[in-house]
Chains A and B, each alone.
Chain A
């Protein structure tokens, strides 16, 4: 019984560590996909819930592709919802209400490196973000999974539920587009 409890605690720790490792990257991926942090945070939270509910019992070696698969699904759903909403908005002329003024969001960030350093470092990051956001969703996901996460072609294909050929095509197009956009920055 004690041994069983120890194993459960070790599993729990491993799961916690894994989520800690992927949550920031997951958030950045979602942010690049949605273009805003609030939605990205919601998507990452949903992805964590879905991953823990459905895949936590799987071997740890399979966790990363499975987590990103869940996140990829959430991103696809988000894009579908957004498309439908924008169609409805264009039909009915609906305008979203103004975002409430958030005191906490406006408070100074203790991790902020200061305006000058931020400006220098941010230029390249902002250029990269813009270029990535302009990519079609599948190309962006392929680039992030292959280049940033370091997944091989097969894992990326499984994560994105497409063929390995599609992964190669998406990546090739993404690299060409990014190279063109980022010539002066990276």
Chain B
């Protein structure tokens, strides 16, 4: 503020206002102090609430991406109907294979077992 900008008497008015603000009673100052502390504490509470929420959201996002990548086909579908293609390619045998009690090893080594069976049949014959 330029001091010459205002009439001389405003300096006295300003000084009186300064004194009145500096000479507040103890009870008022105490309440102002509590108000200030509460306002600042509110900032912590907000930060304290957002941080865990943000971390949980980030973890869930990572988990979802991880699961999606694991389940996605090696050659991703070019169209947006990837999920419907996956359903169309799904065979009932697949379900039987997954839900059956036989070990998955059996299915993975099916050629070997077929060859073994053939060898045994030749031996018997």
Contact = CB atoms under 8 A, between A and B. Distances in A.
A53 B46 CA distance: 9
Interface string B20-44: 1111111110011001101110110
A141 B61 CA distance: 50
B13 interface: yes
A51 B16 contact: no
A113 B25 CA distance: 11
Given A111-B25, A151-B1, 10 more contacts: A23-B32, A25-B21, A27-B28, A48-B36, A109-B25, A125-B19, A147-B1, A147-B6, A148-B18, A178-B13
Interface stretch (A13-21, A58-66, A82-90, A158-166): A13-21
What does DSSP make chain B's interface, helix, strand, loop or mixed?
helix
Interface of A: 12, 15-16, 19-20, 23-25, 27-28, 37, 41, 44-45, 48-49, 51-53, 56, 104-105, 109-113, 121, 124-125, 128-129, 144, 146-148, 150-152, 175, 178-179, 182, 186
B24 A148 contact: no
A99 to B, nearest CB: 16
B9 A179 contact: yes
A50 B12 CA distance: 32
Contact of A23 (B10, B36, B43): B36
Contact of B31 (A12, A41, A53, A148): A41
A128 B39 contact: no
B42 A53 contact: yes
B7 interface: yes
Nearest to B35: A45
24 contacts: A15-B40, A19-B40, A20-B36, A24-B32, A27-B24, A41-B28, A48-B38, A49-B39, A51-B39, A52-B42, A53-B43, A104-B27, A109-B26, A111-B25, A111-B26, A113-B23, A124-B12, A124-B16, A128-B16, A146-B6, A148-B14, A148-B17, A151-B1, A178-B13
Given A44-B35, A104-B27, A56 B43 contact: yes
Contact of B27 (A24, A105, A129, A144): A105
Interface of B: 1, 6-7, 9-10, 12-14, 16-28, 31-32, 35-36, 38-40, 42-43, 46
Contact of A19 (B12, B27, B39, B46): B39
Nearest to A48: B39
Contacts of A53: 42-43, 46
Contacts of A144: 17
A13 B32 CA distance: 17
A146 B1 contact: yes
A15 B32 CA distance: 15
A28 B25 contact: no
